[in-house]
Amino acid sequence: MASHVAASAFGHCLAMTRDEEVATRLAVVAVRTGGRTLGVVLGHARHQALAAVAAEQPPPAALRPGAGPADVAWALAATRPPLELALVDLSGRHGLGRAGLGIALRMTPSAAAERVAAVARSWDAELDPALLASLGPGDCEGMAGVLAGRPMAGADDLLAVAGDVADHTTGCPACADRQRAMASVRQLLAGTPLPEPPWQVAVAASGSRLQPPVPPPALQPGGRGRGLRRLGVTIVVVALGGAAALVTVAGGDDGGREKSLMALTRLPSDTGSLQLVPAEVPPAAGQVALTNRSGAAVAWEATGDAPWLEVTPPSGQLEPGAEQVLVLRGSPPEGDVLASVRVTGDDGSAAMTAVAGTVEHPPDLGATADGCRVTADVEDEGDVVLTLHWRVNGTEATGSMSAPVDAKSTATMPPALAPVTWWVSAVDGRGNQARTPDVVVATPC
């Protein structure tokens, strides 16, 4: 499993960056952060690779003379926006189920599937005729006329003729048959085997298997449409003349949490020149204000003490009385979250804000039926209990589903029931629930 995760992370990063050294570096980060869950690791690989290609454009994918259809497909794919390539690669080449794809893209499974389907339609319409052009006219004189005298050396040449090829194919049954028989650009990409991962990636993957996975960042801010719930806890931090801060936790909470909050807020007090407001923020993306209350300029540095917590900007200089907004980003793991942002100044002052609350991730769930046999796809950060429900003539019944293997779980409905309505529910160890939409089957399965 670890080796498949390593090969997938490296393969995706290599497809995106086309640079083995860069892909190795990014894949190591992805497997270290993502743990052992394929969808989570690929989500981090996707995030790393998209950031890398946004910062530095990958080299163009050149076409060697005599290149095979798969080489042509990859060269054509490289002309598309990196996000499209990421979606096609993630959906086609790594054996992610619907739920796994949702996790990798940090969307609901259905939103992820819709997004991939939209890209697939445009690739089939715009790239497949270019691929057909690369295969030559075949026996069609009309196509020979379309391609005559057109350069075919690179992906751009093929795309330049693709519109004319598509027009011809629409009116030519022979060429339409050829295109239908031909593997599409997406199928050729999906059929490209994953490369052997470099040892650095394999070692990082085997070392990270026991670590809890950190959810990948969203594709776009707010892209997941999934709320982060907070406990009803109010935390008041009072600075006492430079001494240790006093922390009061109001609400039904356990002593362990209070104790760790005490430890968290023991240092540093914010009676120096730097002040951070507010003293506590929830784990959802937020911001805090840093103020220089002294009469002299202060150079400062900010850090988050959790691996998922990113503070932007990480450093700067503040004139007397000036204020700087620090943006907090990150995808905290499920459960009680307790972290802090600390700012230190070159005048010896320091300030801190606690990042505290509870994060819940409901299971990502999808299901399909083949006859009476229902297969559920589920991804969650912990164990999940799955139940198959069905209803006939207003009477509901349930059956337990097998324990998930590779995120897949099955159960069978009794035959000869119709019309039957079925759905699957999932509950994780934290009580978070998910269920699939009702499916109505008119004829007995």
Interface positions with Zn ion (CB under 5 A): 140, 142-143, 172, 175
- Which is closer to Zn ion, CB of 150 or CB of 373? 150
- Which is closer to Zn ion, CB of 179 or CB of 269? 179
- Which is closer to Zn ion, CB of 47 or CB of 178? 178
- Which is closer to Zn ion, CB of 152 or CB of 172? 172
How far apart are CB 146 and Zn ion at their closest, in Å? 8
Q: Do residues 427 and 433 lie in contact, with contact meaning Cβ atoms separated by under 8 Å?
A: yes
* Tokens standing for residue 360: 């819940």
How far apart are CB 328 and Zn ion at their closest, in Å? 59
In angstroms and rounded to an integer, the radius of gyration of the C-alpha atoms of the chain is 27
* Rounded-to-integer distance, Cα 408 and Cα 385, Å: 12
How far apart are CB 68 and Zn ion at their closest, in Å? 23
How far apart are CB 153 and Zn ion at their closest, in Å? 23
- Which is closer to Zn ion, CB of 140 or CB of 261? 140
Run of H or E including 387: strand 384-392
User: From the CB of residue 300, how many other CB atoms can be counted at a distance below 10 Å?
Assistant: 24
102 Cβ contact partners less than 8 Å away, ≥ 6 residues apart = 39, 108, 109, 110, 111, 112, 113, 364, 366, 379
41 Cβ contact partners less than 8 Å away, ≥ 6 residues apart = 5, 8, 9, 30, 31, 33, 34, 35, 205, 213
Which residue do the tokens 């009116």 mark? 171
How far apart are CB 309 and Zn ion at their closest, in Å? 59
* Rounded-to-integer distance, Cα 205 and Cα 190, Å: 23
What torsion do the CA atoms of 353, 311, 106, 19 make, to the nearest 10 degrees?
-160
- Which is closer to Zn ion, CB of 142 or CB of 286? 142
Q: Do residues 231 and 357 lie in contact, with contact meaning Cβ atoms separated by under 8 Å?
A: yes
Which residue do the tokens 């050829």 mark? 178
Number of H helices, E strands in the chain: 14, 19
How far apart are CB 145 and Zn ion at their closest, in Å? 9
How far apart are CB 176 and Zn ion at their closest, in Å? 8
* Rounded-to-integer distance, Cα 232 and Cα 251, Å: 7
- Which is closer to Zn ion, CB of 13 or CB of 175? 175
How far apart are CB 69 and Zn ion at their closest, in Å? 19
How far apart are CB 63 and Zn ion at their closest, in Å? 24
- Which is closer to Zn ion, CB of 142 or CB of 316? 142
How far apart are CB 212 and Zn ion at their closest, in Å? 57
How far apart are CB 76 and Zn ion at their closest, in Å? 21
DSSP 429: T
- Which is closer to Zn ion, CB of 180 or CB of 259? 180
Q: Do residues 138 and 144 lie in contact, with contact meaning Cβ atoms separated by under 8 Å?
A: no
- Measure Cα distances from 269 to 106, 240, 241, 242, 266 in Å: 37, 8, 9, 6, 7
How far apart are CB 71 and Zn ion at their closest, in Å? 24
- Which is closer to Zn ion, CB of 172 or CB of 262? 172
Name the nearest CA neighbour of 115 among 223, 194, 5, 227.
223
- Which is closer to Zn ion, CB of 48 or CB of 169? 169
- Measure Cα distances from 422 to 262, 324, 390, 412, 426 in Å: 50, 54, 4, 11, 14
User: From the CB of residue 369, how many other CB atoms can be counted at a distance below 10 Å?
Assistant: 17
What torsion do the CA atoms of 62, 64, 68, 74 make, to the nearest 10 degrees?
-10
Residue 274, CB half-sphere, CA atoms under 13 Å: how many? 31
- Which is closer to Zn ion, CB of 39 or CB of 137? 137
